[in-house]
Structure 1
Amino acid sequence: MTIEIRHLRSALAAAEHRSLRKAAAASGIRAALLSKDIRLLEDMIGCTLFIRTPAGVRPTSHGIDFLHVARQIVHDVDMLANSPGSGARQTARRLTIGYYTSVSTGNLRATLGEFQRRHPTIPWKFVGGSRASLLQKVETGQVDIAIVTAGGLEWQDALLRLWSERCVVALRADHKLAALPILEWSLLRHERFLISTQDPGPEIADIIRHYLSVDVRAPNLVTHDMETQFLKPFVAENGSVMIDYESATGDGLTNIVYRQVLNGRQPVELRFVACWQADNPNPSLVRFLQLLRERYPDIS
């Protein structure tokens, strides 16, 4: 089962109104359905988000951090859905972009903001999912272009190399390594890593194994079937650490700090690429590619 936006909206409504009945009324759904959404969400992430009493509900300590991330995700989705060009009067062909990374900060957010400024009449649609599912949708024409990480990528059609993002480690603010401004991989050898099974989690797991596998001893990886942004709040709870990329550091989570990780003096980076079908005739895609090539010229 996958976490859906409606699950997040139900949880946020409960947190706002401190009552399942009031939250359901404000959301225009039955209280039983809202309660079911929250139960499913708690089952999927493996923790209790709310303390339930006869007087109402209030977030747990886990819930406070989780809801902070959920609020940002819902905000981003609403912002993208309501971006200029999404109205019914628009005649420009819609551009569908596949992605599975943060759009809160970083290169992707900056690129999309510039595209909106230049082409305010082009409507957007964003599609999430795993790298494999997004590339399949590009092949079938459901997605015009997918922005994905490049590690281990097998793609035979059009491709443009984009930006790189440095790997960082997320730590509890009181972790013994948090006092250091920069970390070497060797300092993380005895840490327990939280890993998402969803992209780009498997690629990050490969990076950890590459730098920390010593002789026959493998690094301690604990995998969870949830998206990285939902998993990260647990770093502050159980003393584990997490490897992420730098644009994901703007989440504002409390009690978590980020430190760059180096291999010798060199940063370890995730490379992002754009994948599309060369024969895709969508004129909106042509304009988006013009911007990408301007910002990230292919010099290979």
Structure 2
Amino acid sequence: MNLSIEQLRVISAVAQSSSFSEAARSLRLTQPAVSRTVQTVEAHVGAQLFARTTRMVELTADGIEFLSVAAAILDEFDAGMGRFAAFQRADRGLLTVAALPVLASGMLAQVVSAFLATRPEVQLNLVTGSAKEVLERLHSGDADVAITELPTEAAGLLVTPLGSDPACAVVPRDHPLGQMGEVRWQDLIHHNFIALSKGTSVRRLTDEGFKAAAVYPNTTVTVDATVTAIAMMSHGMGITVFPLSTQSLTTAGELRFVPLEEPAVSRELAVIAPASPAPSALARQFSATVVSFRTTLAGGPPQPF
């Protein structure tokens, strides 16, 4: 039989109070129960731990040594349980979040900042990838939470929609299209177009819009990152189409985001976690924080609720 934490606590309480009756009161046990526990422990270790007199109880030499061992075990156990309780409260631990690059570089920074502000013992690992890659990380267990497009197949996933992220024409502030209240996809074909690489969610959104409008852009440059496209536009190399959520990546007033119509195209965003095993408290709290900032993620002002 191995000794239990409860038995070690009894030995510690008797040693601290030098009294079986005081130890029983502090532990809310009967005095006979405390006496039996001490006898059981002494029999297990093969040594007398306490010298008993009619007036008091004193530790023997073996008892002093055993108490130091018991105290170390109890301290480590209590500290470990404290860490576990903090993990259950979402106050500590490691969380890996996978997100689309545009979201990770933009409004998601506000979410992470708000989440970590009151959790100094939490470590957050933020990784990025395409919509397909983000879901693969989730399914493989390499990520605890994903912020990405609403999946078409949700089996085995806990999906919370975040709302629409509409496509916008993005042009330099002095561009003629920037003076319009809204533009059509057809209006874009008369200008040099900066495209995102195939396989990205932004490129999929752009291709969907041009296809629905039955027009084709005059693509002059193709880049693999939104920040590169922004740099190209700042040098007058053309215009592009971004989801509204990318607006936070631009310098205020540098570029215009103009609503696109005929047709209006958008992507649906969602926060996703695996259904099994059940998400940790940390993952659940982070997901709740994302939901509270969903207006921000969709390109609007931050409106936690």
Where do residues 130-169 of structure 1 align in structure 2 (5 Å cutoff)? Answer: 130-150=130-150, 153-158=152-157, 159-169=159-169
2:208 matched to which residue of 1? Answer: 207
* Cα drift, residue 240 of structure 1: 1.8
* Cα drift, residue 294 of structure 1: 5.8
1:7-31 superposed Cα distances (whole Å, 9 cap, x missing partner): xxxxxxxxxxxxxxxxxxxxxxxxx
* Cα drift, residue 95 of structure 1: 0.8
1:42 matched to which residue of 2? Answer: none
Distance in structure 1 (CA, Å) of the matches to 2:217 and 2:214: 6
Match of 1:275 among 259, 265, 272: 272
Kindly indicate whether the alpha-carbon contact (under 8 Å) linking 1:144 and 1:285 is maintained by their aligned counterparts in 2: yes
Where do residues 82-101 of structure 1 align in structure 2 (5 Å cutoff)? Answer: 92-99=92-99, 100-101=101-102
Amino acid at match of 1:207: E
2:179 matched to which residue of 1? Answer: 179
1:88-141 superposed Cα distances (whole Å, 9 cap, x missing partner): xx98321100112244553x3343333224544322110112222221111111
CA RMSD of aligned residues (A): 3.2
Where do residues 1-300 of structure 1 align in structure 2 (5 Å cutoff)? Answer: 92-99=92-99, 100-103=101-104, 105-106=106-107, 108-150=108-150, 153-158=152-157, 159-197=159-197, 199-214=200-215, 218-222=216-220, 224-253=222-251, 256-263=254-261, 268-281=265-278, 282-292=280-290
Gaps of 5+ in 2: 1-89, 295-305
Secondary structure in 2 matching 1:113: helix
1:72 matched to which residue of 2? Answer: none
Over the matched positions of the two proteins, sequence identity in percent amounts to 17
Kindly indicate whether the alpha-carbon contact (under 8 Å) linking 1:95 and 1:144 is maintained by their aligned counterparts in 2: yes
Distance in structure 2 (CA, Å) of the matches to 1:116 and 1:91: 9
1:160-207 superposed Cα distances (whole Å, 9 cap, x missing partner): 211323322221333222222432333224333212115223322223
Kindly indicate whether the alpha-carbon contact (under 8 Å) linking 2:92 and 2:122 is maintained by their aligned counterparts in 1: yes
Secondary structure in 1 matching 2:164: strand
TM-score by length of 1: 0.56
* Cα drift, residue 251 of structure 1: 3.3
Secondary structure in 1 matching 2:249: coil
1:260-296 superposed Cα distances (whole Å, 9 cap, x missing partner): 22326x8543321122211134331122234445666
Aligned residues: 202
Kindly indicate whether the alpha-carbon contact (under 8 Å) linking 1:181 and 1:259 is maintained by their aligned counterparts in 2: no
Secondary structure in 2 matching 1:171: strand
Secondary structure in 2 matching 1:187: helix
**Structure 1, 137-146 or 119-128: larger mean CA deviation:** 119-128
Amino acid at match of 1:144: D
* Cα drift, residue 148 of structure 1: 0.9
Distance in structure 2 (CA, Å) of the matches to 1:177 and 1:293: 33
Q: Structure 2 vs 1, CA of residues 240 and 212 (structure 1 numbering), >3 Å: closer, same or farther?
A: farther
Distance in structure 2 (CA, Å) of the matches to 1:105 and 1:238: 23
